[in-house]
Amino acid sequence: MLLQIQRKLGVVNSDVEGWLDHVRDYIEHGTNFLLILRNEPKALKDFCNSFELPDDCKAHVISQAEFFLMCQHVEPAAFDAILHHWDDNHQVVFVEQIDFPMNQPPRLQSFIVYSPVLGILAQHERLSGAKEMLEDYENEIAEGIPHPDAGVYHWHRGKWHLFEGR
């Protein structure tokens, strides 16, 4: 996976036919996204199953305040769609790729550059390569383009851990 710097959060609407295909596209690219999900048990079950999670998994439903805190990183069309569908019949879920069983080795390499907002930006088999990719990402920030924070994570003992060393 190449370093993916120029991106914003997109949205998937579970009311639209083929929405699970869109979810799979985001999974394939390791991109976090927002999901407009019906407030009904079947929709949540379909969501859980699409990530190979148990039927009773807990979705990260966000509040409007949380949404507005991240809105600078949301695609304009996604922003409009979310505001349009924010009602009693829907909930907005923030889908974070690092939480899902399919996003771990061997599918991913042992080191990833990860943004808690945008998702998996890059992956590498060695720490040095991941650090270089993170530096590239941070240099892009220095050029005046606002990006959310990111860090290097490594796979250790069945879990992703933020690498805090040098």
22 half-sphere exposure, CB direction, 13 A CA radius? 16
> Stretch 67-71: mean pLDDT, rounded?
92
Q: How far apart are CA 135 and CA 154, in angstroms?
A: 16
- Locate 53 and state its tokens: 């999670």
Would you kindly state where each structural domain of the chain is located, as residue ranges? 10-96, 111-162
Q: Which residues of 70-84 are buried (b: 16+ CB within 10 A; e: fewer)?
A: beebbeeebbebbee
**Among 30-39, 44-53, 58-67, 105-114, which is the least confidently predicted range?**
44-53
> Stretch 119-134: mean pLDDT, rounded?
94
